[in-house]
Structures are given as structure tokens and as C-alpha cells.
Amino acid sequence: TPRVFSGIQPSGNLTLGNYLGALKRFANSQNDGIESIFCMVDLHAITVWQDPAALRHATRELAAGFIASGIDPQKSILFNQSQVPEHTQMAWVFNCVARMGWMKRMTQFKDKAGKNAEQASLGLFGYPALMAADILAYHATHVPVGEDQKQHLELTRDIALKFNNDYGVEFFPITEPVIEGAATRVMSLRDGSKKMSKSDPSDMSRINLTDDADTIAKKIRKAKTDPEPLPDTADGLEDRPEARNLVNIFAALNDQSVDQVMQEMGGKPFSEFKPLLADLAVEKLAPISVEMARLMQDVAEIDRILTDGSQRARAIAHPILRQTYDIIGMVPPV
């Protein structure tokens, strides 16, 4: 039976990239009746230092972001990773399955560690093993994510395959990444070669789900572009990363294909296209940010939702961890 799992780090403000690449699509599986498990991956967030008060706030606000984006905590399981110890227990097993060489090829580690990899935390290096544990502790079959997580999901499959092979079992499923839509990789508004990220130091590089209408309009107005008007068709966007990014965002926000957007917008100068994009972004995002703010007024309720979700998550993950321990030869409690 299919089971969906995905996670988001409480490592800053939710961005338009998180919304279009992940959150907006999460509600689909839930509404299709597929069992869906969504995690605030707080233990991933601390692979780079987080201010404790800010982390706690970001975790609750992330939960509010999930709910405001249409995830129903009754239908789906919504919880934070640190409340379910099976994630780290499973991650240890996978640390012993994954190979150093596999980890060294991970481009996210290289991007995040930068030039000074020796100073990166061991956790940042091992991040993909914890991510594999997040997914496989639920025997999840489908993982909706943005493009940037493709490599980590391939590693998850490699870990599952190697475990099954090493122990001669067919225990862990080979998980399918689900990367679809017009905005699987939303780019920075300041640099068309970098993805939009909540941990980017420049606030102008991204649209936050908590930004007000004026801020959204200003960020889009100032978004980097080339001086030419939009091309007539989608083909003309190929070598124009900034223009393509804005068109992709428009398409994803408006549930249109890029070709449909170009039929209407082709040939327009940015001075005309940007205000239309800003209006659309405000129209689609304002209700979410209003709902997030409303939910954040009752933090105790959010904490109850996460606690309840964690108990339901644990009921699934605990037996899978016990079976894993059994397969690898641990003596169980009597």
C-alpha cells in the first residue's frame, strides 16, 4: 500500500520555494486518500547552529504553515522529528550501511559546507542517512520533494537496497521520489543560478510565506532580470534563467502550464509582467499567511497537534525499528 512521507526543516521562514516545491503538493496526496506523514525535521535543522528560541518558534510556525497550506492534522500525521526517537535510532543503523564515498558525493553537503568542509558538523555530513531513516522508518513508498532533494532520495534507495542485500531480506521498500509541477526548483530572486532557500542570508532573495503584500510586491519588482521583454514562446526562456524562474512561479501559482502562461504573457516587458506576478502572488499567499498568523495565536494547540501526531507516527515507526533490530541481530527485551 502506498504511504507518503515528507519533511521540512524549521531552519527559517518558509519560502515560496518550499510552498510550490513541497507544501502545495502535500495536500494532494492527503486529499487522494493516501496515508500521508509530514515531519518538522528539527533534528536536521541543527546540522547547522540554530538559536534555540528561534528554532522552537520556527518549528511551531512550520506546523502552522502545513495546516494553512491545507494539510489536515486529523487526516494526515503532522509531527516533529525529535519526539519520535526511532528516527535517530534508525539513522544509526543506516550510518553503518551507507558508505563514506556515497556521502562525499552529495552536492548539498558541498553547497552547505562551502569552502571550509573541515569545519562542518558531522551531522551535516551524515544528514542523508537521517533522511533515509525518516522515510524508511515508515516504509514510505512515495516522497514528494523539490528537485534539490533528488540526490538524497537516490541515496535512500541505495541504502534500502544495500540493507536488503546485506541481510538477504526484502524489508525496506525502494522509495519513489515525486518531483512534479512547474516549480520543482524555484530560484533565488537575486541570482538565477542559486535555488531559493529559507537559510539564504539575503531576505531579498526569497518570498517568505509571512511577507505582507507590500514586501512581496517590492521583492518581485526588484527581482533580477535581463533587460529584454519576455520571449513569445517558452522556447525563448531556455537561456534566460531569471525570466524562466518568474514564469515558472507564475505558472505554478496559477495552476497553469508554462505554455499557457506564455500564450498570455509572451512579449510583455517586465514592467508589465512583474506587477501581474506580484498581484497573483499576493492573491495566493495572503490567505496562507493570515491563517498562519491566526494559528500562531494558540501555540498550545499547535503543541497538542504535534504531540498527537508524534504518538501516531511512533506507533508506525516503532515496530519497523524492532523488526530492523531483529534482522541485524540485536537481542530483544523479554
210 binds ligand ATP (CB under 6 A): no
Residue 196: HSE in the Cβ half-sphere, 13 Å Cα cutoff: 33
9 binds ligand ATP (CB under 6 A): yes
Per the CB < 8 A criterion, the answer to whether 276 and 265 are in contact is yes
CA distance 283 to 285: 6
CA distance 9 to 39: 8
Would you tell me how many other CB atoms lie within 10 Å of the CB of residue 27?
Answer: 17
The single residue among 93, 131, 136, 145 that binds ligand ATP, judged by CB under 6 A, is 145
Region of 63-71, 82-90, 146-154, 319-327 interacting with ligand ATP (CB under 6 A): 146-154
Whether 198 is catalytic? yes
298 is in an annotated binding site: no
134 binds ligand ATP (CB under 6 A): no
Q: Give 209 or 321: the residue with its C-beta nearer to ligand ATP.
A: 209
Q: CA 86, 96, 117, 196: dihedral to nearest 10 degrees?
A: -50
272 is in an annotated binding site: no
148 binds ligand ATP (CB under 6 A): yes
198 is in an annotated binding site: yes
Q: CA 292, 297, 303, 309: dihedral to nearest 10 degrees?
A: -40
181 binds ligand ATP (CB under 6 A): no
Place of cell 509572451: 266
Whether 224 is catalytic? no
Number of residues forming the site for ligand ATP (CB under 6 A): 21
192 binds ligand ATP (CB under 6 A): no
List 24, 194, 195, 218, catalytic entry? 195
197 binds ligand ATP (CB under 6 A): yes
SS3 state at 114: coil
Among candidates 122, 136, 153, 37, which has minimal Cα distance to 93?
136
Binding residues for ATP: 9-11, 17-18, 146-148, 186, 195-199
The residues carrying an active-site annotation are 112, 195, 198
Return residues touching ligand ATP (CB under 6 A): 8-9, 11, 15, 17-18, 20-22, 145-146, 148-149, 184-186, 195-199
